[in-house]
Amino acid sequence: MIDFKEQIAEGLARETGLEKNELLLKIETPPDKKMGDYAFPTFTLAKTMRKNPAIIAQELKEKLEGMEGIEQIVVAGPYLNFFIDTKTLAENVLKAVVEEGDRFGASNLGEGKTVIVEYSSPNIAKPFHIGHIRTTIIGDSIKRIYKHLGYKVEAINHLGDYGTQFGMMIEAYKRWGDDEVIEKNAIPELVKLYVRINKEAEEDQELLDNSREWFRKLESGDEEAVSLWQWFRDLSLKEFERVYNMLDVEFDSFRGESYYSELMMKAVDEIKEKGLLVEDQGAQIINLDKYNLPPSIIIKSDGSTIYLTRDIATAIFRKEHYDFYKNIYVVGSQQNLHFQQLKAILKEMGYDWADDCIHVPFGMVSLPEGTLSTRKGKVVYLEDVLNRAVDKVEDILKEREETSGMKMDNRDELAHQVGIGAVKFQELFNQRIKDYVFDWDRTLSFDGETGPYVQYTHARMNSLLEKGGFDVSRPVDASLLTSKEEKELLQKLYGFNQVIVDSHEKYEPYFVTRYITDCAKIFNKYYTNTPILVDDDALKQARLLLVYGVKNMIRIGLDLLGIEAPDKM
Ligand code: ARG
């Protein structure tokens, strides 16, 4: 596609003799399109050219007039404002729409680079609760966005499947566990056992001693201990998989913390050899004063390692195994300090790739009081929230069937697509660092800035295309698209790739969410004001191709968020 900005920079470079890339950085996008599509501040040249900026602007305008793809250049004080030519824009954009199809907005920016996106990472034998929704959905979207830009992505679920608590789990199971009960309702039952042993251990030292012994056995590969642990892990994973299937979230690896337990000692030895460990009250710590961070414990006084030690081993393994370009951790902001320490330690160890380890934090999600009855106690299971969303949409659709008297043949599937999509959309609508309260009414509404609204707009475009007998292979006259909304939509199509690039740079899927929501709004306005299926066939074809392009972009945008785009709603 034509690159208008590049074009302008080239022209400016030719006339001023300055570096094109330098000029490129100075070209701005005015907040108001009335001021032009691009602006160049000439005062940045005043010093080198020893001239008044307004005069420079005037002279450059005269020299640049008639430039390809630019309709008009306007001098506004020390600014040169460029208005792009709508016909050039339309021709370029529509050509890309036809040629790129599913790859619209894509690029090969990441070619040859492997990126790790680590997300979700629940702890086994613990509930997969509402708090996990954020890492799971944000992480999955980041993965999709990187893929669209040509990166090779490894999606890793860093399961919490290691730690002394598994000694307690085994001891509790051996005392009170009942296989049949556990098989039926694994996680709540395992949680019950864990809560019970913690409580009873307060009074009973033997429980603690036995648990410690079980953990020791587990670490040394004792058959019974390992097979019980494996069983807890399998049961948990089976429950997690059910939620991942609902969410259409997939991983390339489930290597969890336990995987690195073997590599941990190697990492600890390396830290020792590099002279970084000091003893502190029996524990082995690393001093991180230099980074303005509190010291990190590497080995506790009882000789056991901790969460952080495992993350050090993990990062080193990942570099060796994947030679990542970036190693991205999608983990809540409560763990900011943990990841700062991890990076600092890797730096101390002399790894120049430490800065390629990136913590992508996010704020908290909470549910309004009393909106959900839970299976057990205070924990809100994510699966229950998702089912509830689907049920609510199902109710809305049933009501619709009753009022319209029309039966849908895919009501269940649609309820799933819209319900799950709505939850994801709300999750990805704001800057990730912001806390938010789960709001059922807003999430599931078909109006306003919601998933159902965008999905509905997409379906609306689809039926319009069907009704108009749209055929993508027919050539169109792009110069017929001249209205304000047509220009806006063309600009949106033109800018789609850049938004995806920005969103990947900042690890912010909400850029995409907002963008496609805007497109849906502009389209709906357009559709209200402009007849599409007009008698003039050439005009009709041009408008339909535009609609097709926008529909395609919205579908791809939804896909980058992990949201489905039903054809009919
Ligand atoms: N399992 C941890 C938790 O639930 C999250 C793991 C985050 N990833 C990491 N590499 N430390 O809090």
pLDDT > 90? residue 464: yes
Minimal-distance CA residue to ligand 1 atom 5:
121
Q: What is the pLDDT of residues 120-133, one digit of tens each?
A: 999 999 999 888 99
| pLDDT averaged over every residue in the chain | 94
Instruction: Quote the pLDDT of residue 304.
Output: 81
Domains of the chain with bracketed CATH: 4-84 (3.30.1360.70), 114-265+303-360 (3.40.50.620), 382-560 (1.10.730.10)
In this prediction, the answer to ipTM > 0.95 reads yes
CA-to-CA distance for 459 and 167, rounded, in angstroms? 53
Q: What is the pLDDT of residues 480-500, one digit of tens each?
A: 999 999 999 999 999 999 999
Strands 436-437 and 365-366, by their bridges, are parallel
Instruction: Quote the pLDDT of residue 506.
Output: 98
Instruction: Quote the pLDDT of residue 302.
Output: 84
pTM of the model: 0.94
CA of 134 from ligand 1 middle (Å) equals 13
Minimal-distance CA residue to ligand 1 atom 1:
160
Contacts 24+ apart (CB under 8 A), 271-276: 271/298, 271/312, 271/345, 271/349, 274/348, 274/349, 274/350, 276/345, 276/348, 276/349
Strands 152-156 and 114-118, by their bridges, are parallel
Q: Is 372 exposed, middle or buried (0-12, 13-18, 19+ CB in 10 A)?
A: middle
Pair 209, 217: CB distance under 8 Å: no
Q: Tell me the chain's radius of gyration from C-alpha atoms.
A: 29
CA of 331 from ligand 1 middle (Å) equals 7
Confidence of residue 20 (pLDDT cuts 50, 70, 90): very high
- State mean pLDDT over 145-153: 98
pLDDT > 60? residue 377: no
Q: What is the pLDDT of residues 198-228, one digit of tens each?
A: 999 999 999 999 999 999 999 889 999 999 9
Q: Probe ligand 1: pick from 154, 157, 158, 316, max atoms within 8 Å of CB?
A: 158
Strands 79-84 and 38-41, by their bridges, are antiparallel
CA of 538 from ligand 1 middle (Å) equals 57
Instruction: Quote the pLDDT of residue 373.
Output: 46
Q: Probe ligand 1: pick from 335, 341, 358, 382, max atoms within 8 Å of CB?
A: 335
Pair 117, 142: CB distance under 8 Å: yes
Percent of the chain, pLDDT > 90? 87
Residues with a catalytic annotation lie at 126, 129, 132
What are the DSSP E strand ranges found in 65-212? 70-76, 79-84, 114-118, 152-156
Q: What is the pLDDT of residues 77-131, one digit of tens each?
A: 899 999 999 999 999 999 999 999 999 999 999 999 999 999 999 999 999 988 8
CA of 157 from ligand 1 middle (Å) equals 9
Q: What is the pLDDT of residues 473-485, one digit of tens each?
A: 999 999 999 999 9
Confidence of residue 375 (pLDDT cuts 50, 70, 90): very low
CA-to-CA distance for 309 and 300, rounded, in angstroms? 10
CA-to-CA distance for 426 and 448, rounded, in angstroms? 12
Q: What is the pLDDT of residues 532-551, one digit of tens each?
A: 999 999 999 999 999 999 99
